[in-house]
Amino acid sequence: MSSTNLITSKEIVVKRFASDYSHEELLGIKKSFKPVAEMSRRRQKISNAIVLTIILALVISVAIPEIFPAVSVSLTTGFWIFGGLLACLFSLLIANLTPLFKCPACENRLYNIKKYCPECGNQLPTVRHFPQDGLRCEKCNKNILIRKGKRYFKIKFCTFCAVKLDDQGV
């Protein structure tokens, strides 16, 4: 996915912005987004645990023949490599099942970078195309960068309506 695809030329109609909501409404929006954020964090932890398990398995596959010389190197290595490949596939599956987040306030997709910084909610500089090195937020100094389909920022605020969705970010 190229970076230039993230800013769409079609304008999304946002009827209300963060400043238009009452404090109670903002809390309700944040509460409705909480299960999605928790599920995303849980999937990320599982994916990280799988990757660490693969690394441990590879270390063990190298160490076992050294500790137990009677064990066949090819059998041990083959077993761990096969298990590691299955775990990698499972980890990729979990990572790719991450939902496309939508703002509960304005119903826009949160992966599209629009008007507001996803880290702090500050208004971003106006650009027609996403720069190669991302946008830099003037308030929080974060680089809002998406490269090869991976985002290098956390989503705490909606980039369309600036409503705060999560304290930790997803």
Lowest mean pLDDT, pick from 71-75, 135-139, 164-168: 71-75
Tell me how crowded residue 80 is: count the other CB atoms within 10 A of its CB.
Answer: 19
DSSP string, 39-72: HHHHHHHHHHHHHHHHHHHHHHHHHHHHH-TTS-
* pTM for this model (two decimals): 0.71
- Whether the per-residue pLDDT at 94 is higher than 50: the answer is yes
How far apart are the two ends of the chain, measured CA to CA in Å? 20
Helix axes 73-96, 23-67, angle to 10 degrees: 170
Mean pLDDT of 149-157: 86
Pairing of β 150-151 and β 146-147: antiparallel
Confidence at residue 57, expressed as pLDDT on a 0 to 100 scale: 73
The larger pLDDT score, comparing residue 60 to residue 97, is at 60
Distance CA(115)–CA(127), nearest Å, equals: 9
Domain coordinates in residue numbering, the chain:
3-151
**pLDDT tens-place string over residues 31-85:** 999 998 998 888 888 878 877 877 777 777 677 667 766 666 566 666 667 777 7
CB atoms within 10 A of CB 92: 12
Average of per-residue pLDDT across 121-148: 78
- Type of residue at 105: A
6 pLDDT higher than 50: no
